[in-house]
Structure formats: structure tokens, C-alpha cells
């Protein structure tokens, strides 16, 4: 997940959560949290409990997020957010809790009496994790046109550049989808599996080599012992679990998008 993708995600997340963005460029943003969002992500329950018990005036936090530290020209102090960082993972989880599904419409400004046609798309954001004794995480955003079946990689980047609203404009009407969302979801899952299959998986082979090397060391320590103790089997099993390569796919969020 590139810095600009993270920046777009944060911008969309806080805008849709009614948290004003006070200052922003392409590499950082300062956000004023609402009371509800402060309670969700700032982990200070005693503060809010005290205010509620004393009828105090709430003062939700104001946060600055740096999404591309290398591109900053100004001396900005804030929290660096990158893919895999605790804060971004927290916001992913908050997105799930707030509702992983949205339905959005591209805004239409039509001077004529002819209404603008909006075409349905299904967009899904996936988090893919490669696990062994090391971890690699990636973000994939895929979209599919529910009329033509056309697939788009980088769907989130595309819709971030559009003017969207949760309510359809009066000057527009939406086409009913031909491809059912559940079938479209199957196509997106298959497309993601192809992306993963075509990826470089030398990480798994390298993990297997490290596993074999450590297993040889383990066998050396217990060489000549006919009745190996229980700890030998425990160490061997723990080593296998540590180095065994596996892939985890999670859906972060998604939705229906009606676009021009």
C-alpha cells in the first residue's frame, strides 16, 4: 500500500466519520476528532468517564498523521502512518466496526433535462498477509463493472478522485446491475487469487531453507539420544509453526458505487 493510497484512505475515513480535516497536503493531514471517534481510537476511557461523571466540557483530540515522511518539506510533528502500522490497522478494524459496506453515488451536475446514467460497480479492498517467521502485508483494491464485467485494479485510487455522495443526485438515475454482486464477488476473489499466484513467492522458499537449517541444529543437539525428551518434540513443533508459510486474505471494506 503506497503512501498516496494510505493518505486517500485516511482522508476518506475521517471525512465520512464527520471529523474535520483542519490542514492537509499530499503527505500529512491534521484531523479534529469527534467525541465518538476519540472514544473509538484514543484509548482513554478514564478521561471520558471522568467528564461524564463531572459534567465536564469534552475536548476530543486533534491528531496529525504523516503519510509520507520522505516528501515533507515542512517541520511537521505527528504520527507516521504506514502500511502495517498499529494506527492503520486500528483504523481498518474501526472501519469494520462502523460498517464495512457502503453505497455511494457519483455527483451529477446536469444543466439539461436529460438525466445522467450511473453504472453500478462493486469495489472491494483486500488485505493480503504473507506469514512465515517474517510477515509481509499488502493492500489490493479491486472493482468490477456490474454491467460489462470489466475489472479494475486500484479501484480505491480511482474512486478517491471522484466526487461521491451517499445520496443519488436528482439529475441521475441508476442502471440495475446485470451481474449479481455475489457473482461479482466470486470474480474479484478469483482475480485476487491470480494476483497472488503470479506474485514472487521466494519468501516461502527462503523460510523453508531457514527452517531446515534450524532443524539441523536441533537434531545436532539431540544426536545420539535414542529416547528423545518431550521438549524435543515441543521445540520441533514450535519451529514448524514458526517457519511454515501461509497466506491470509481479509476483506477490509467494500461497497456498491454508481458511477458515470
- Each residue of 65-85: pLDDT tens digit? 999 988 887 788 999 999 889
- Cβ–Cβ < 8 Å for 60, 93: no
Share of the chain above pLDDT 90, in %: 57
Residues 116-128, mean pLDDT to the nearest whole number:
94
Please say if the pLDDT value at position 97 is more than 70: yes
CB atoms within 10 A of CB 251: 16
Q: Is residue 184 part of a domain?
A: no
Share of the chain above pLDDT 70, in %: 99
* pLDDT at position 99 over 70: no
Instruction: Determine whether 224 is exposed, middle or buried from the number of CB atoms within 10 Å of its CB (0-12, 13-18, 19+).
Output: exposed
The rounded radius of gyration (Å) of the Cα atoms in the chain is 24
Mean pLDDT of all residues in 184-211: 94
Task: Give the strands of the sheet with 62-66, arranged side by side.
Answer: 21-24, 28-32, 62-66, 79-80
What domain range includes position 87? 1-99
Q: Is residue 193 part of a domain?
A: no
Predicted pLDDT at 100: 67
Residue 212 lies in a domain: yes
Per-residue pLDDT averaged across 175-182, rounded? 93
Residue in this structure with the C-alpha cell 457502503, named with its chain if needed: 102
Distance CA 144, CA 254 (A): 12
Q: How many domains does the chain have?
A: 2
8 Å CB contact between 163 and 107: yes
| Model pLDDT for residues 7-32, shown as the tens digit of each residue | 988 988 888 888 999 998 888 999 99
State how far the alpha carbon of 249 is from the alpha carbons of 15, 59, 108, 131, in Å: 27, 38, 36, 11
Instruction: List, for residues 204-246, the tens digit of each pLDDT value.
Output: 999 999 999 999 999 898 988 888 899 988 998 999 889 999 9
DSSP state of 127: E
Within-domain flag for 144: no
Band (102; pLDDT cuts 50, 70, 90):
confident
Structural contact between residues 196 and 248, judged by C-beta atoms closer than 8 angstroms: no
pLDDT at position 129 over 70: yes
Phi, psi for 155 (deg, rounded to 5): -60, -40
| Torsion sign across C-alpha atoms 29, 32, 36, 41 | positive
Q: Determine the pLDDT at residue 83.
A: 85
pLDDT at residue number 113: 77
> Which alpha helices (DSSP H) does 99-180 contain, by range?
155-160
Q: What share of the chain is helix, strand, coil (3-state, %, to 5)?
A: 40, 25, 35
Amino acid at each position: 500500500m503506497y503512501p498516496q493510497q494510505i493518505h486517500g484512505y485516511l482522508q476518506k475515513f475521517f471525512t465520512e466519520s464527520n471529523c474535520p480535516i483542519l490542514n492537509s497536503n499530499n503527505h500529512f493531514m491534521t484531523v479534529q476528532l469527534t467525541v465518538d471517534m476519540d472514544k473509538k481510537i484514543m484509548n482513554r476511557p478514564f478521561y471520558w468517564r471522568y467528564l461524564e461523571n463531572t459534567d465536564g466540557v469534552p475536548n476530543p483530540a486533534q491528531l496529525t498523521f504523516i503519510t509520507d515522511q520522505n516528501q515533507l518539506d515542512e517541520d511537521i510533528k505527528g504520527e507516521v502512518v504506514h502500511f502495517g502500522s498499529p494506527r492503520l490497522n486500528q483504523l481498518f478494524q474501526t472501519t469494520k466496526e462502523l460498517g464495512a459496506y457502503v453505497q455511494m453515488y457519483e455527483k451529477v451536475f446536469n444543466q439539461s433535462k436529460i438525466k445522467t446514467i450511473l453504472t453500478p460497480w462493486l469495489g472491494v479492498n483486500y488485505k493480503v498477509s504473507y506469514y512465515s517467521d517474517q510477515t509481509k502485508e499488502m493492500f489490493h483494491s479491486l472493482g468490477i463493472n456490474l454491467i460489462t464485467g470489466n475489472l479494475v485494479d486500484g479501484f480505491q485510487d480511482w474512486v478517491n478522485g471522484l466526487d461521491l455522495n451517499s445520496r443519488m443526485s436528482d439529475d441521475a438515475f441508476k442502471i440495475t446491475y446485470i451481474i449479481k454482486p455475489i457473482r461479482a464477488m466470486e470474480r474479484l476473489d478469483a482475480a485476487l487469487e491470480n494476483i497472488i499466484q503470479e506474485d514472487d513467492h521466494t519468501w516461502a522458499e527462503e523460510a523453508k531453507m531457514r527452517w531446515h537449517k534450524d532443524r539441523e541444529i536441533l537434531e545436532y543437539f539431540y544426536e545420539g539420544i535414542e529416547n528423545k525428551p518431550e521438549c524435543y518434540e515441543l521445540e520441533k513443533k514450535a519451529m514448524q509453526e514458526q517457519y511454515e508459510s501461509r497466506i491470509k486474505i481479509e476483506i477490509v471494506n467494500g461497497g456498491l458505487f454508481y458511477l458515470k
